[in-house]
Structure 1
């Protein structure tokens, strides 16, 4: 059997764009990333993404057989059209798959970024499991499900949209228009927004900062009471969300990735403890909660996994 060529992988996030060339064994041969700059609009961002892809190709050398693209949803994987993700304002009916295929003159496959990352973790995470849930805790919050070795897509192709599971039906407004979505509480953007609201008029060490989720984690570790309460609320909410997913999906593993997970054990330990304590005992005993081993490259690996899956089944 002919060994497949490496693929070019593109990852579109609300904060970062990333590109890399990934070999069939999951080895990342090149990796580059830049800021997304969503305020520049989709046309400018797509150009930056394609230029970044060219840079990744140049750094890796050699040829590739296809392009995989991970992007926040909703989107249509069959047509590669982006359908107005909350984290990418103005991306309404953007034909990303066509634009990528046209630029690189290669087959291009587009998938929800968290769904793609779930497949990447399944293929190359080294976990040796058949049932896995991946959650990205980043600018936004989302997830993907691998059930019995297969990515779950659902009837409309949007299955696994875990960021918009409602955890408080009378809760905070989410970017999708609904109230109380998990994303409205545990994404990096929402952590920063909640902190900004909480410190107004206070003597918190966060006051006066342009607050990020990283700032909240750091000041919580340093003992700031407002930051500590916010972080505890966030991990409790995420832990409860993971417990629900363990009960519903009964995975062997829940993998957490994305920028907020750079907090490491400060995030993982309370989330894991809360999730396994609150999940139904049989499901909890069959599952563990871990951090992705791939760091910033998890999105690129996910996009590559989508391309390889499509090449293998076409």
Structure 2
């Protein structure tokens, strides 16, 4: 058994701090991400959560929403989580915890987690998370791609430069659309419940989201031709959503139809993936 790694997953709504070894989460603490606090406070809160594992790890992996390059953290879509541009995440984390740190986008880390320990079959893999926003990660030839690779939520439709894909299909969009139609700022789980109760407006919102993801899968297949597209996230794994994405994908010619599978590691994919990378 290799020495455990501390993994921290900072997302738009929650932060998970976990001790991970060989693809297994030995313990975890999850707290809300208070958007107004900022990254210094988010790291301080993670440090407090990790005190129970003091001395048990020699490395830290950070899986975060947004964009990482050379250890610097920036927001890709501030609507998901506002981050100061080029925040020195790796440097700050190493100084606070006193150990080596590695950082990667959370969906990129989750892609690696699914490839190594989850739904991957050993071939090229694309991971999509449909949640507060829409993110993704790509594994090609046994290697995770970093930088901008996989930020599918920021893709735009041809001829439409005013709206990101995640602003048309994500959980945040679903909530805003329900409010726009006069049903209040209803969170995505409640919209799914209404759809299962045959509420026409809710079914239309869920279907519109699923259609956007089905078309994204088609485009990914055309560009990368992965062995599978793994879908996770609170919206992506909601009851009935993946089946709807598959049903809508049937409209695509079979030669370019994706092998769409559910994520197996659920909310732990990011911490498992980044821990595996940080421990190497």
Superposed pair shares fold, TM > 0.5 = yes
Rounded Cα–Cα distance in structure 2 between residues aligned with 1:217 and 1:12? 25
For 1:137-176, what aligned pairs fall within 5 Å after superposition? 137-153=130-146, 157-167=147-157, 169-170=159-160
TM-score of the two chains, using structure 2 as the length reference: 0.92
Question: Is there any run of 5+ residues in structure 1 with no aligned partner, and where?
Answer: 171-177, 201-206
Kindly indicate whether residue 243 of structure 2 is the aligned counterpart of residue 272 of structure 1. no
Rounded Cα–Cα distance in structure 2 between residues aligned with 1:168 and 1:232? 21
For 2:120, the equivalent position in structure 1 comes to 127
* Structure 1 residue 189, shift from structure 2 partner: 0.9
Kindly report the root-mean-square deviation, in angstroms, between the aligned alpha carbons of the 2 structures: 1.9
Residue 53 of structure 1, aligned match among 45, 50, 53: 50
Residue 17 of structure 2, aligned match among 13, 16, 19: 19
For 2:274, the equivalent position in structure 1 comes to 303
Contact 1:50/1:100 (<8 A) preserved: no
* Structure 1 residue 214, shift from structure 2 partner: 1.0
Q: Could you say which structure has the greater relative contact order, defined with CA pairs below 8 angstroms and 6 or more residues apart? A: 2
- Rate the CA distance shift 1:191–1:305 in 2: closer, same or farther, 3 A: farther
TM-score of the two chains, using structure 1 as the length reference: 0.83
Contact 1:131/1:147 (<8 A) preserved: yes
Rounded Cα–Cα distance in structure 2 between residues aligned with 1:73 and 1:232? 27
Kindly indicate whether residue 200 of structure 2 is the aligned counterpart of residue 193 of structure 1. no
* Structure 1 residue 281, shift from structure 2 partner: 3.1
* Structure 1 residue 123, shift from structure 2 partner: 0.8
Moved more, 86-95 or 243-252: 86-95
Kindly indicate whether residue 29 of structure 2 is the aligned counterpart of residue 32 of structure 1. yes
CA deviations over 1:265-292 (Å, ceiling 9, x no partner): x1100112323542x53343xx421111
Contact 1:243/1:276 (<8 A) preserved: no
Greater fraction of residues in helix: 1
Rounded Cα–Cα distance in structure 2 between residues aligned with 1:38 and 1:217? 25
Contact 2:61/2:102 (<8 A) preserved: yes
Equivalent residues, number: 278
Kindly indicate whether residue 262 of structure 2 is the aligned counterpart of residue 291 of structure 1. yes
